[in-house]
Amino acid sequence: MEIKLFVDDMRAGPKGWVISREITSAIRLLATQNVVAVSLDHDIAIQKWIPNKRIKIDLMLENYTAVAWFIATMPKDIRPKTVLIHTGSISGREYMDWILKDKVDKLVHVYNYDNDKEEVKEAYEQV
What is the set of domains in the chain, with CATH numbers? 2-125 (3.40.50)
The predicted pLDDT at position 81 comes to 95
CA distances from 72 to 22, 80, 98, 105, 114 (A): 18, 9, 10, 12, 27
The predicted pLDDT at position 13 comes to 87
Task: Note if the pTM is more than 0.75.
Answer: yes
The angle subtended at Cα 69 by Cα 66 and Cα 71, nearest 5°, is 110
64, 85 contact by CB (below 8 A): no
- In angstroms, rounded to a whole number, what is the distance separating the alpha carbons of residues 126 and 106? 11
The predicted pLDDT at position 76 comes to 94
Exposed/middle/buried for 95, CB within 10 Å: 0-12, 13-18, 19+? middle
Mean pLDDT for each 10-residue chunk of the chain (127 residues)?
Answer: 91 90 92 96 69 64 83 96 89 91 90 72 79
